[in-house]
Amino acid sequence: MTTDIEKVRSLFVWMGCQNFQSGSIPNGKDDSPLSYMSKVKKKTMSYAAFFVKICRAAGLKSVLIKGIAKSVVYDVGDPLEELQQLRNNWCAIYVNGDWRFVFPLWAYSAVEGRITDKYTLIEGN
């Protein structure tokens, strides 16, 4: 890859093609992709932290952002105390002179078994 955007896209697609949930992932050296994949599977590392690590290894400026991500379990008007249960990580990657947000968990996960009429439309088209 020659451009930063090609590197980010390649890493993003590669990571998305990995099967973290089934089968066994052999343990690798402490700073290897296999080691990180094993940690993601064991839920001791987030997808975002793994993505930041591989982006940095490819020479890309990247940061891990910690905060609250309102997931499918969030309802409009939930008390602030309940939002603390929605702590999550995402990342920002510096590409072509701008920071780009990436949320690997949402990109690589699917929501199943939720009723779609539960959602509240905030803005119309």
1-21: per-residue pLDDT in tens? 889 999 999 999 998 888 777
Return the H-helix or E-strand segment holding 107.
Answer: helix 104-108
Collapse the DSSP code of 74 into the 3-class scheme (helix H, G, I; strand E, B; otherwise coil) and give the result: coil
The SS3 of residue 104 is: helix
Evaluate if residue 113 carries a pLDDT over 80.
no
- Residue 106 and residue 109: Cα distance in Å, rounded? 5
Query: How confident is the model over 95-107, as a mean pLDDT?
Result: 90
Cα 94 from Cα 28, distance rounded (Å): 28
Which pLDDT value is given to residue 36? 85
Model pTM above 0.75: yes
What mean pLDDT is predicted for residues 34-63?
Answer: 90
Q: Which helix (H) or strand (E) holds 100?
A: strand 98-102
Q: At residue 110, does pLDDT exceed 70?
A: no
pLDDT at position 3, please? Answer: 92
